[in-house]
Structure formats: structure tokens, C-alpha cells
Structure 1
């Protein structure tokens, strides 16, 4: 490490001092930005080495780099709030003498302003195309009077709005406006605009009406489908006699029509007429089917079917129940 006295006097035989310049030509930098120094030689002079210095805490010059090139890049990440830089060189003729020190470049390093608060109103998970939303970017109170500009971003790219954009912007949404939104602001600091940290972000999802309609139909169609399935199940559980007049199968549970009926209903055992009825059962007997009057009632989740069976002079009512689990 080489230390150079700041107040050293230029003596005869010492190469003339170079010129140190800084790019960009600011005097205030935000922590994290990059500095670019250039050590320029006097006219007609050639150098084989360049030396760059920074002022130490005790006021002495500390060499930070020795190199063949005359440019130096420095990060402000770990610099103090105020720094001073200088440079010198060694001539190409092989002598070990260093030139006189250059001019001093003084700069300041500041932390970026704190993040603003970003919001989208109204707050919704999904927005419809054509709907309007308000974007609001609010700087902290102590920086509001110094705010020179507010910037809005979507997916990393700056939105080109009115110049300067206000703290509240209204957007009429389209599907192309979907994305991640956030903002930042700038304050004036020693003649330059210093950008703040980024705000919180909000994702805006935009859906067209043509996509919302199938969702609504799908929700209603699902209920209709369930109802159709339930009706199909109920239909399958009906007695076959109710499914059509062309079907010859009798209803389940009905004894009438299975065997030929005797015209005499109350004959006693041993009665001659009873015996004649039995003898005629195998030849030409008449089949008599019951008269069925179905009544359907659907209440809630339970259905009831009543059958009035007329058999001779008596009428018998039977009920078939089926339950539907919804």
C-alpha cells in the first residue's frame, strides 16, 4: 500500500499532474450506483501505469488501484457519505517517478428514499375488460414536499403516462393490461433526481366477458345435470307398468293378472263351482289386469307413487316410496 502526502510540493523533474474526471457528472450518488473515473494525461505525455487514490479517515491518501488503463469503476455500495478521489501516473520512459497528483473529485453518497405505498382500487381478484381502476402511489410524508416525479411500472417496464404523472392514475382495463404493477418516486437531491426504492406490487388479472359467460353457464349447468341424473334414477325405479302401454310386464308386487281369475271369488273348499273353476284354468281362461291409476307427488327429496288396484268389488291402495339423496 502506498501513501501519498496530500500537501506534497511539486519539484522540478516531476511529471505534470493528470486530470481526473467522473462519469456521470454528478456530485450526489445513490448507494449501489457505479462510478466511472478517468485519469487523463497532459498533452504529449505517455504513461505505463496509472494510480488511483482515495482519502483515508486520517486525511492521508490511500492507493486503491494500480493498473495499466486510465479508467476505474467503483461501486458506491460501501463508500462513506463523503469521499474524495485523485490519481497520478508513471511515465513510459522507465523512471520510477510518479507524477504530481491530479485534481480532487469530491462526491456524496446517499441512501435511496424509502419505498412508497402502492394500491389498486377497487380491490378485486379478477377485473372485467372495460372496467376502470385507480392506481395510487403515496410517498412517505417527509418526502412528499421533495417529490419531483412519480413513476408507475408494469412487469418491470415503465408506463408512459402524463408527464409528470400524478399520484393517482385511472386506467380503463383491457386484457393487455393484465400484469404486476408497482411504483416509485424521485426526489431532488443536489441538482439531480434520486429514485426511491420500489413499492409493494399488486397483480391485476383482466378477463373478457366472453370468458365469464361460460363460467356462469357451467355453474348453472352443473345443477341441471344433477337434477337430470336424479330424474333418471327415479324413472328406473318406477314399476314397469308405468313405462309404456306397449309393455306387457305387470307391476312388481301386483298379484292380479298373473294367474287366471275365477269369476266366483268367495267359493268355499269343496264347492262344485270352485272345482269347475279350477278345471277351466288350463283352457281359455280370461286374464283380467288391474285398473291402475298412478298418482305422482314429488316433495323435496322424497317421491311417492300411489296405485289404486281395483280387483272385483274391492279397491286396494298401495304406495311405493323412493328417497333421493341430494
Structure 2
């Protein structure tokens, strides 16, 4: 359609064009007005480019409507129609409105007249222009141009032509009147931005407000970035101002954009736009590069009381004015530097971390440009979880007293509270961890099995003096992939006694020998006096350990005696006193006495000594 107007004025010319470009053969093109056929053309050739034009000259109200077109092509002797084109609406009004300063052309045509001597134009029935001397080549058309139009030219316009017949002027009837309304363009609005900064950040949102909308018949408002329309909205009423939120586009490097706004009103079907607002210039810069946040030690979960370090590293290419740390999006620390730096790190120390310090941590840095802080994007978040250590285990012993004789076995059992779970147990002696693999076969431990996931037993197979001491245990529990050590158990004390099973047997044998000695003494009354005296000394020596060493040695010389008529030989065996308990002081004086134990279990055969 040409020319393109939202509203056409009675008398104007409108051209409609239907093109079947790209089609190999076209047999017919048809126009439609409100779905009714109004004009067609057949017999096209490729040189026509398959284009058909429909002209609406001197448009009138009957030409208003919805227009479309369609073409046909001949396929095997039959016409095949295309789809309808898109629709175009034509609106016609008899009361056009013009804006002061525009150019208006009024055309008067005496089409059909055989002879025309002249044409006159009228404004509100007053002649304003006249032209004579027409000849047929001019087709009897005259144009009156109002340029630039002003409010003084508002009114009803008409025209007529005349011809001279026998020296007399014969005028035609006046044409239909065309009313022209002339109005001033609405005054320019005012454009402001919120927040008000000298510099803005790419991607952030700003609010543009178009105010001072000085018209009682406001129809809509538009915003522009440069010459490009970025927002348009029709308004049902006339507010004093209108606001819209925009996101500043992201581009490479810093830039400055020009923004403006306008509003419009509608009169006689025509949109009358206001003057543009004064331009508003917005300077935009990019955010600094994203910092990197690291965690040391790199655990997913921490135990109450541990130390945690978070380090924020800024790339060396970024200017720096300060660094901030956040926990759960709340600022917890901010450090400003007296001068702009490039490439820097700052650390946040959390000594003795507690449950209140658990959360998602992040950091950012900023630079100052034109008096405004320009923050970077936040670093990736690092979540810190804090938990109490697992509860204290229970430690028990078998025997429960903790006192065990040398050479016997000892079991120490560690039981973790709570249900089954993945656990590792550790035993300690005098604060040093016991590693059974490093101690050979004398100590072993059992790991938890499926039937008892919370118990472990430390077994000392043969207790010795070096096993005396204070024992504790603890366990590790798998919490979010980290092995967490529990609190230590209460301590139990182990004492290893120096008495062993061999010593007990020797004592029992000694008592048996003493009893047997007394019985033999009664039976030996008839022996010789020398043997009797010797045996008495032996018994006395065995019953009275207070005899001196000299007497003991004398007895040793004749210790071996043979009862007359007997196959049993008795021997007096001197035995040192039992070892002191291993926990006694080594400087303690050892008893000087010796115990003499007689064994009767040893049977010897009497052998006659050969004479010398």
C-alpha cells in the first residue's frame, strides 16, 4: 500500500499492489475488499513480474475496509488458487488533522469536462486561489499547497472550475468540502532516571520516568534508545507521568546511550505525537571480573572448635578498592584499601568454629568509578557445615579389676553409643595410640563386624610389665564423607602382677615337702643318730627360714639323704624369694631370706659309690 497512513482523507489517492514474486506461472490475480472481489487481471507474462496494482483515486468513505489479494496458476488445464495475502486496513475520514508546520496539498480535478477555462479554491467559502489558461494536455488539474500549514489555515476547503461560453463565465458547482483541522504538536515531556548515578553497571535495572504529559487526551507513550523504539504502550487515561523499568544491555566495554520519550494523542483518527523529551545520557560500565573463593582445609563438614580459613582471590587484571565476605547473602566483613590495587587476596579466619558460623559463604570485590562503587559478581558459594564430635564411648576390661598376673591374657572392650554405622576404633595407652600391627603377636584387636557394628576388643595375649598403664579409646564416624574422631572414653588402669603360674606351683610344692618332712621324721626315730640329726636340721631349716646363710650351706652339703630301705631320695632345694611386683620401686631393698623347698616327686636309684 502506498502511501502508508493510519488514516486517509477523502480525496486522497491510495495504491494497492499484489505481487506473486517467486512463482513460475500466474494466470490471474484478484483483489478483495471485505472478502468481496473488486478487481482482477488475467493474461500475465513473465515480463509483468506477476504484479497487479489497484488504485483508489479520490478515496471516499466507501473505500474504507479490509483489503487482500490472491493469485491463480494453471495446472493441467485447471486453475489452482494460492492462499490469501495478509490483510491491509484502510480508514477514511472527512475531517483530517494536521500539525503546525506540515505541508498540505489540495488538488482540484475537472475530470470529464470538455473545456475548462480556470479553477478556483475556497476556504470557508472565501476564494483564496485561482488559475486560468488550461488546455487539454493539463487534464484540468490544479493543486493548492499550504506550506507550512498554520492554525490560520484551519477551515473547510472546496474548489470549482469554469468555462467561457460566448464571453460569459459559466462556473461549475463547488466540489465537496474538505475540513482541515490544524493543531499544535503537544509539548515535550521530561525524562528522568532512577537511581541517579554518574555511571551505571551493565545488566542492572533502571527506572525511566516520562513526566509533564500536558494533554487532556493522552493516548499512549513511547521510549527510545537513540532512534530505536524500545517501549510503547497505549494508556486508557491521562496520567501526569509514566514510568517503565529497563535493563541496561550488556555490551563489550563501556558505552554511553541516549534515551528519550514522547507521548501521543489521537484526534480525528490521527495519532499526534508530542515533541521528544530532552535526551538523557546514561554511561554504562562492566562489572569487575569474578573472584575465586577457596576453603582450607577443604572439608565438607567441620567439628566445633576447629579452625577454618576462607580466601578470596581477585584476578590480577582487575582494579581493586576493597573485598567483602558474605554468609547466607549477609555481609559479615568488608575491607577497604587506601589505593586501587590489582590482583589481591584476603582471608577470613574462623578460629574455633561454632554452629552459628555454619552457612553458605561467598565474596566479592569492588572498584570506585566516578564516585560510585562498582561491585564484581559474587564468587561461587562454599557451604560450611558444623557438627559436634561423636559422643564418648564406654571402655571396660576383663578382668574388671584391671589387675592381671604376668603371662595371662587381658581383654579391653570399647563400645560406641548409638546404632550401627560405619566406624573405626582406636585404643591408646598413656596417651599414645596402640597399633597392634607394630607390636607383633602379643596384642590384637577385633574390628566391628556386621553383628556388632559399635564394638571393638583389644586383646593382650600375654600380659607383661610393659602393659601396665592407663588405657583409653575413641572411634571415628563417617560424617558426610569425613572421618570424625569422637571424644575419648574414660581412662582405665591396668596393673600386671609379677606372680606367674609357675611361681604358684613352686609354693604349693614347698608346702607339700614340709608336711612330708614331718611325717618322715616320725618314721625315722630308729635311724642312726647322725642321720637323725641331719634330718632334723633339714626340717628345722625348712620350717625356719630365719637361719643364716652358713647353716644353709652346711645343710646343702648333706642335702641329699636316702632313707634306709627306701627307693626315694629327698632333696632340699634352695629357692630365692619371689620377684617383687613390677609396680614396686626398683630401689626397694629385696628380702635376703631364701626359702628351701623339698621335692619328693623326684625318684632316684641308689648307686653305691665305689671305694677310693
TM-score, normalization by structure 2: 0.30
Residue from 60, 63, 76 that aligns with 2:332: 63
Measured against aligned partners, the alpha-carbon deviations of 1:53-75 in whole angstroms (never above 9, x if no partner) come to: 212xxxx4122353885222214
State the SS of the aligned residue for 2:311: strand
CA distance in 1, matches of 2:383, 2:347: 17
Match of 1:193 in 2: 483
CA distance in 2, matches of 1:151, 1:94: 63
The alpha carbon displacement at 1:132 in A equals 1.8
Aligned counterparts, 1:236-247, within 5 A: none
Q: Residues 134, 80 of structure 1: CA spacing in aligned structure 2 closer, same or farther, 3 A cutoff?
A: same
Q: Is the 8 A contact 1:46 1:92 kept in 2?
A: no
Q: Is the 8 A contact 2:430 2:469 kept in 1?
A: yes
Q: Is the 8 A contact 2:410 2:459 kept in 1?
A: yes
CA distance in 2, matches of 1:29, 1:184: 18
CA distance in 2, matches of 1:221, 1:126: 27
Aligned counterparts, 1:276-315, within 5 A: none
Residue from 152, 155, 169 that aligns with 2:458: 169
CA distance in 1, matches of 2:296, 2:446: 27
CA distance in 2, matches of 1:114, 1:25: 24
CA distance in 1, matches of 2:381, 2:364: 11
Q: Residues 49, 124 of structure 1: CA spacing in aligned structure 2 closer, same or farther, 3 A cutoff?
A: same
RMSD, aligned CA: 3.8
Q: Is the 8 A contact 1:149 1:164 kept in 2?
A: no
Q: Is the 8 A contact 1:54 1:64 kept in 2?
A: no
Match of 1:135 in 2: 412
Residue from 371, 375, 379 that aligns with 1:102: 379
CA distance in 2, matches of 1:179, 1:54: 48
Structure with the higher strand share, 1 or 2: 2
1:155 equivalent in alignment to 2:524:
no
Match of 2:298 in 1: 25
CA distance in 2, matches of 1:193, 1:158: 17
CA distance in 2, matches of 1:36, 1:17: 20
The alpha carbon displacement at 1:19 in A equals 0.9
Measured against aligned partners, the alpha-carbon deviations of 1:37-88 in whole angstroms (never above 9, x if no partner) come to: 1212224346464322212xxxx41223538852222146433485111112
Larger RCO (CA under 8 A, 6+ residues apart): 1
Q: Residues 25, 214 of structure 1: CA spacing in aligned structure 2 closer, same or farther, 3 A cutoff?
A: closer
CA distance in 2, matches of 1:43, 1:150: 48
Q: Is the 8 A contact 2:311 2:347 kept in 1?
A: yes
Q: Is the 8 A contact 1:150 1:164 kept in 2?
A: no
Measured against aligned partners, the alpha-carbon deviations of 1:258-285 in whole angstroms (never above 9, x if no partner) come to: xxxxxxxxxxxxxxxxxxxxxxxxxxxx
1:36 equivalent in alignment to 2:309:
yes
CA distance in 2, matches of 1:25, 1:211: 55
CA distance in 2, matches of 1:137, 1:125: 15
1:211 equivalent in alignment to 2:580:
yes
The alpha carbon displacement at 1:213 in A equals 9.4
CA distance in 2, matches of 1:148, 1:214: 36
Residue from 388, 392, 397 that aligns with 1:120: 397
Match of 2:325 in 1: 52
Measured against aligned partners, the alpha-carbon deviations of 1:132-166 in whole angstroms (never above 9, x if no partner) come to: 21110111132xx2132111122222211369845
CA distance in 1, matches of 2:433, 2:364: 42
CA distance in 2, matches of 1:155, 1:135: 15
Residue from 280, 287, 299 that aligns with 1:14: 287
Q: Is the 8 A contact 2:497 2:582 kept in 1?
A: no
Structure 2, gaps ≥5 residues long? 1-200, 205-284, 338-344, 438-444, 449-455, 500-578, 594-612
Which runs of structure 1 show a deviation greater than 6 angstroms over 4 or more consecutive aligned residues?
A: 92-95
The alpha carbon displacement at 1:20 in A equals 0.7
Q: Is the 8 A contact 1:186 1:196 kept in 2?
A: yes
Match of 1:251 in 2: none
CA distance in 2, matches of 1:214, 1:16: 70
The alpha carbon displacement at 1:207 in A equals 4.6
CA distance in 2, matches of 1:92, 1:128: 79
The alpha carbon displacement at 1:94 in A equals 12
Q: Is the 8 A contact 1:114 1:197 kept in 2?
A: yes
State the SS of the aligned residue for 2:436: coil
Match of 2:46 in 1: none
Structure 1, gaps ≥5 residues long? 1-7, 223-326
CA distance in 2, matches of 1:199, 1:33: 20
